[in-house]
Amino acid sequence: MSLSLHKTIAVANQKGGVAKTTTAVNLAASLAMAKQDVLLIDLDPQGNATMACNLDKHEVTHTACDVLLDGLSVKEAMVYVPECGITVLPGGADLTAAEVGLLDQIARETRLRIALDKVKNDFNVIIIDCPPSLSMLTINALAAADTVLIPMQCEYYALEGLSALMNSINQIKDLLNPKLEIEGILRTMYDPRSKLTQDVSADLLEHFADKVYKTIIPRNIRLAEAPSYGLPIVYYDKTSRGALAYLALATEFIRAQQKAAA
């Protein structure tokens, strides 16, 4: 069943290596498998989300840079990828130029929000993959989003990084986007054999309670392999533990939206 809402979610964490892009791509594909209309926006200059969706970041005609700097419409720049069941606004190295170019733009923090206003009703869910830093690109994503989904690894420095991210989100909320809320915190690359992992997970549940997803994303070799084949895990190996976890996350997300709308 399609969701009646139209929601924009930024997948963000200022710390790298926490499965942020993996989460953006695989949640998008899993929601599409659940009959949702999904737009995935790649705002990371590395272009990994683009490549993971069977698009060559060096060959795409347009990227999010053209939307942010040149005023190209999202509809002109986006690409439907039938192999993944989603629409993608590609990203690539030119977003590094956008980072600098935005500094001279009027309404530089809200360029993405203005662009998305014209297409947000065409999709049930818009997912924005952010760079691993609080850059002008990430600020644009947070200014455009309704909520933030935070993937994090249960490791020693994670809670400190989460605290810094929460401060950034609160600043964006105060200055640019008063409706911005936390969608959820997702435990990724989870190894239940590690006592540290268990301890950090317990701290998360203590401090953030119902904001922590029940779904946990395990360490999974098939999940790591999938991007090299240009496919989300649900298409690369739908029976793998990684695929089952992201399908469960999509179900948990949909149920939360339905509950909120009831």
Per DSSP, what are the bridge partners of residue 153?
188
Q: 2 pLDDT band (50/70/90 cuts)?
A: low
Tens of pLDDT along 205-256? 998 989 999 999 999 999 999 999 999 999 999 999 999 999 999 999 999 9
**pLDDT at residue number 204:** 92
**DSSP states along 31-56:** HHHTT--EEEEE--TT-HHHHHTT--
Residue 156's φ and ψ, nearest 5 degrees, are -55, -45
Tens of pLDDT along 17-68? 899 999 999 999 999 999 999 999 999 999 999 999 999 999 999 999 999 9
Pair 44, 130: CB distance under 8 Å: yes
Q: 132: burial class by Cβ within 10 Å (0-12, 13-18, 19+)?
A: middle
Architecture of the domain delimited by 7-261 = 3-Layer(aba) Sandwich (3.40)
Per DSSP, what are the bridge partners of residue 185?
150, 212
Q: 261 pLDDT band (50/70/90 cuts)?
A: confident
Instruction: Give CA–CA dist 11/20, Å, rounded.
Output: 6
Instruction: Give CA–CA dist 178/205, Å, rounded.
Output: 26
Average of per-residue pLDDT values in the chain: 93
Per DSSP, what are the bridge partners of residue 147?
9, 181
Tens of pLDDT along 128-170? 999 998 899 999 999 999 999 999 998 888 887 888 899 999 9
Residue 220 carries which side chain, given as an amino acid letter?
N
**pLDDT at residue number 94:** 92
**pLDDT at residue number 107:** 87
H or E element that contains 212: strand 212-218
**pLDDT at residue number 5:** 79
**pLDDT at residue number 240:** 96
The answer on pLDDT for 1 being more than 70 is no
**pLDDT at residue number 99:** 86
Pair 84, 226: CB distance under 8 Å: no
The answer on pLDDT for 199 being more than 70 is yes
Instruction: Give CA–CA dist 163/130, Å, rounded.
Output: 18
Rounded average pLDDT over 116-126: 96
Instruction: Give CA–CA dist 260/248, Å, rounded.
Output: 18
Decide: pTM greater than 0.75: yes
Tens of pLDDT along 54-87? 999 999 999 999 999 999 999 999 999 999 999 9
**pLDDT at residue number 192:** 87
**pLDDT at residue number 3:** 65
Rounded average pLDDT over 104-116: 92
